[in-house]
Amino acid sequence: MAIVVRIDVELARRKMSVGDFAQRVGISPANVAVLKNGRAKAVRLSTLESMCEVLDCQPGDLLEWVSDTPPQADPG
């Protein structure tokens, strides 16, 4: 299972810089990079809430679950 973070998509849609986003959310630009690059192991719900507030979006707009196993063939 993989969680894909789509912050870059939402930032691009709003033409918002990483620095501006980080400042408004209250995290460092380095932490935004960790999130964007998929290296984060956890995200506080309060941080996720702030990100959604700043971007005026839902958590599902920022996070997506992608299966890492290929679909099985239909036996029938």
- Is residue 6 within 8 A of residue 65, CB to CB? The reply is no
Among 50, 68, 69, CA closest to 35 = 50
Confidence at residue 17, expressed as pLDDT on a 0 to 100 scale: 96
What integer best gives the mean pLDDT of the chain? 92
Residue 76 pLDDT greater than 80, yes or no: no
Confidence at residue 68, expressed as pLDDT on a 0 to 100 scale: 82
Hunting for tokens 């990079």 — which residue is that?
33
pLDDT tens digits along 1-25: 589 999 999 999 999 999 999 999 9
Neighbours of 54 (CB within 10 A): 19
Confidence at residue 73, expressed as pLDDT on a 0 to 100 scale: 72
| pTM summary value | 0.83
- Measured distance between the N- and C-terminal CA atoms of the chain, rounded to whole angstroms: 26
